[in-house]
Structure 1
Amino acid sequence: MDADRTPRPTAVKLAAAAHFAVALAFASIPLVGLAFGADVQAAAEAEVARQGQEPSVLASNGLSFDEHGVAIWAPFTIAGILAVLGFAALAGSRIGRIFSWITLPLVLAANALIMASNATASDTLQGAFDGSDDAGLRSLDATALLDAAYAAYPDWLPALETGRLVIVLIGCVLGVVLLAARPAREYFRKQ
């Protein structure tokens, strides 16, 4: 830090901490998915068998309940971007502050979409089953399948999901507000 630069205010430190907290929250659920994905997949396949279908009907239709692909790289990418923006805030980067103002509301909106998607997952999956050309898939009860898969996660997952929701909501709002506060404005002002 330059000797002429204003000392880093508490508002900036707290904004950076909010970035880091949201980053960790975003990475938490996929980490659980990676740890328990095989158990969740096995539970889903067992439920398919309980419903009288071959467990392979899931794989043959491209359905998987273990974490992979976009379910892994998207949250980790978001977490990485937030961490970089947190460090940029601590470093006094004006462009980092601007990107934070853009990114934090987008993360908040993405989180809302994720929560809405999770709330309608059963209906969405049942619609996909009902519209399938595969008779075995059409016969499946999506709600029972999702319930069985979700039951394979640890009992503390709902508490983690609630904590994640709260941290993302508060962290995103707090990050934007703190970076707009007068001490932050003065800190990021051109010398």
Structure 2
Amino acid sequence: MNALVATLQLLVAAAFLSIPVVRARYGATAMGAAEAELRRQGVRPSVLTENGMRFDAGGHETWAPVSFAAMMAAAAGVNLGDLSWAPVLTYVLQSLILLVNCVILYSNLTAVPSVTAAFARKGDEELARVDVAALLEAAEDGFPAWVWVLQNARHVVVFGASIAAIVITALV
């Protein structure tokens, strides 16, 4: 059973690694599309980078998913090693991964109001008048259509594999 749990953990790791891979490959295109949308709105395109908004694999869009993938790979190694503390580690890390993925999903679902609020907090007049929904839609259009499928499949894998790992660990 430990091998099955380890396999599930490696699936979760791969799901998290898909985020920076896709952003590294298509993020510049998405950023270009977002900047074009800002020009259309009469806002200087540099306002995004000036305020730390990016669509590539930089910053937390790389270190966070890579860190979670590394945690899952380490947990898989512990499970494959059949170490006595593998169940505890699995409970703790899979629970953390479930919580993190809930936050990611919430962030995805509330992107427009949260970015609008963040722009308003900056106190920048140009940011305050940005049509955030149009901006995010333009950026999203900079990614291939299959990325939407990948994003949803990633959520299914992370939630499903994490829950399955916890249940299997509890049953053993």
Tell me if both proteins adopt one fold, taking TM over 0.5 as the criterion: yes
Distance in 2 of aligned mates of 1:133 and 1:176: 45
- Map of 1:36 onto structure 2: 26
Partner of 2:60: 70
> Matched residue pairs, number?
172
Query: 1:22 maps to which residue?
Result: 12
Q: Secondary structure at the match of 1:63?
A: coil
Question: CA deviation digits over 1:101-146, x for unaligned, max 9?
Answer: 1010110111011100111111111122234322111111000000
**TM-score of the aligned structures, taking structure 1 as reference length:** 0.85
- Is the 1:85–1:97 contact (alpha carbons within 8 Å) kept by the matching residues of 2? no
User: What's the TM-score, normalizing by structure 2?
Assistant: 0.94
Q: Which consecutive segments of 4 or more residues in structure 1 shift more than 6 A?
A: none
Residue 118 of structure 1: aligned partner: 108
Amino-acid identity (%): 35
Give the aligned CA root-mean-square deviation in angstroms: 1.3
Does the residue aligned with 1:108 lie in a helix, a strand or coil?
A: helix
Hey, what does 1:7 align to over in structure 2?
none
Write out per-residue CA displacement over residues 163-189 of structure 1, whole angstroms, 9 at most, x where no aligned residue.
Answer: 11111111001111112223xxxxxxx
Matches for 1:128-147 after TM superposition, within 5 Å:
128-147=118-137
Letter in 1 for 2:86: G
Larger Rg: 1
C-alpha distance after superposition, 1:80-105 (max 9, x if no partner): 11011111101111223311110101
Any gaps of 5 or more consecutive residues in structure 2?
Answer: none
